[in-house]
Chains A and B, each alone.
Chain A
Amino acid sequence: MSQATLERGLNALREEIDAPVAAFFSSCVNCGLCAEACLFYTETGDPRYTPINKLEPLRRIWEQEFTLWGRVKKALGLTQPVTDELLQEWEPLVYDACSLCGRCSMVCPVGNDIAYMIRKEREGFVASGNAPEGMKGASARAVKIGSPMGVKFHAVQAQIRHIEADTGLEIPVDVVGADYLALLSSMEIMNFPEYIEALARIFKQAGVSWTLCSEAFEATNAGIQIGSSDIAAELVERVVKGAEKLKVKYVISPECGHAYTAIRWEGPNLIGRRYPFKVVHILELLDELRVAGKLKTQGMDEARLTFHDPCQIVRKGGVLEPPRNLLKQVAANFVEMSDHREMNWCCGGGGGVSANERADELRLKVFARKKSQLDELNVDKLVTACANCRLMLEDGLEEYRVELPVVGLTEMLAEHLVEDNE
């Protein structure tokens, strides 16, 4: 990355201002309703965490350079500039206290998509050097090593060998002409390898032609979290090259939420061209298999359980029904949280917050929101579909001394698979 300077940061902010941003800033009347939609405000009561306030640096650039009246005010010395000090002061608000969950964007009465703007604002922060060390490290590892957690392909191979030895299943790698290329997140590789096993079992039963790619296995995108389009584009390009090389028809985004946002929604815009393949989320694919009668399960989990909607998959990704359809196939006592689907509350660790150690204390504090949602339900099991959410949920539950197993939906389905169709 080129040297970060204030000037680069300001230029990055300027480049991010478009018609939606201008319409949003023009419409805000400081009603404060977005605060109540944000767990960083509701759980701390700190007005600095009001979502729209996190956008003050971007708002100043818009007002002073993109409105006639703002330019007059600036010329008369009636405005405050965006300085390094301002960006430093706002950095924890923009990175530690926003998980890009987008809940605020659902409640603003004038319709402001605040999360859209914070994603954009981060471009200016990273270009000016004002980003958390934890996220800078994750981005650097993602570019140099190929994974934000420093996971190399031999680690994936080690997991593959384990799974193959345990189950006798074959995990295809670098198969040219397969229909589907499955991507993974580092967290799945290191913390939840059950996911890979679940894929192998389900795809075997359903007769899905699939492969992993040794050069493009990592789906997560630290560039998007920190807000660097350059890094993000480089990471997306790896996946696209891998998919093109193997001539697959589809790329499967893993459960991981922001990976889906990265590869499904931001990817083509980052690299500036449409993909020659389609991207599906694993839950979308599983739901298609279910509808086609290719996902045969047996038995019902009798535990009272609920589903935590990962923000990027559901609210920001539009995968609303598949997790419910799939859960109902294997769970007898599925109950919804009070706020669910597109109004669900974040686990607190999205948008790079989990990669930013400085934010740990705040993240665990605001987890109280998820805990109170769970308290209302009195469930015995919590299901989700994002490795990051899952880790954050486990971490939060441990912090609040709640004994509640957290499971991934894909592996839960795999556990109920009928395996008689050899």
Chain B
Amino acid sequence: MNSPIDFLLWVKGPAFDIALAVFVIGIVVRLLEIVLLGRKQDLAEPKGGEFGPGLRTIVTRTLPEAGSFKQSPFTVIGGYIWHIGFLICLLFFVPHIELLHSVLGIKWPGLSSHIVDAVAVVTMVTLVAMLIDRITHSVKRFLSGPEDYLVWLAAFLPIVTGYLAYHRMLTPYPLVLGIHILSIEFLMVIFPFTKLMHTFTFPLARWYNGAMAGRRGVQS
């Protein structure tokens, strides 16, 4: 790996394959670890259903409870902005769509790169603000451990490196692009071992919550 091109080829080739394997197998293992634990049959006579209320909670928890929003508007709004911003950059930047098309065989219309560029800036600023909040807010600082900061970094690096690559801010380009792809691979590799897993487990958690409450006749 002597030249930036070699580096880029390695990142796009063997490194990506390894990251993808860790990502996919890791997620499957983690989900199996959860689901296979099962839960005891509930012998109490139900007041309401489980399935429907569970599905409803999956949807309704996407909006904040009014009181939480009033108490912690920054956490809620910041959370929305960066999650949506991250997804827009990931899924609607034309080169990303082309890449996903080559891997998955499906494609969809992208956004103009100027819009994605602006979204990336907003996302980065929000992520930095949320990091500052995590360090300064008494509850968040108290709860946070190394993993919380690691996953913050893992979410932040792909946006920053993508931004640098798009604007050709560092040279040579193959090196910056390689670093950008490597940052995604970093995210993918740590994904199954960290709380990034919430991306895949939150529907399960919401469903269990809604189902258990639904059984008691309450929509949670």
**Chain A contacts to B: CB under 8 angstroms:** 17-24, 26-33, 35-37, 41-42, 45, 47-48, 50, 52-53, 66-69, 105-113, 116, 264-269, 272-275, 278-279, 315-320, 339, 342-343
Contact = CB atoms under 8 A, between A and B. Distances in A.
B207 interface: yes
Contact of B61 (A47, A52, A109, A319): A109
Given A32-B75, A111-B209, A45 B37 contact: no
Interface in B92-128: none
B39 A20 contact: yes
Interface of B: 29-30, 33-40, 42-45, 47-48, 57-58, 61, 64-65, 67-68, 71-72, 75-76, 79, 137-144, 148, 151, 192-193, 195, 197-198, 201-202, 204-210, 212-213, 216-220
B43 A26 contact: no
A402 B136 CA distance: 37
A194 to B, nearest CB: 28
Contact of B140 (A30, A45, A109): A30
Contact of A24 (B138, B139, B205): B205
Task: From B192, B201, B217, name the one whose CB has the most chain A CB atoms within 10 angstroms.
Answer: B201
B65 A53 contact: no
A108 to B, nearest CB: 8
Contacts of A342: 218-220
The 7 closest A-B pairs by CB, nearest first: A318-B217, A111-B206, A47-B142, A268-B43, A36-B71, A20-B208, A32-B139
Contact of B142 (A23, A27, A48, A315): A48
B206 to A, nearest CB: 3
Given A29-B198, A111-B61, A269-B42, A19 B208 contact: yes
B212 A113 contact: yes
A274 to B, nearest CB: 5
A19 B36 CA distance: 7
Contact of B30 (A67, A315, A316): A67
Nearest to A271: B43
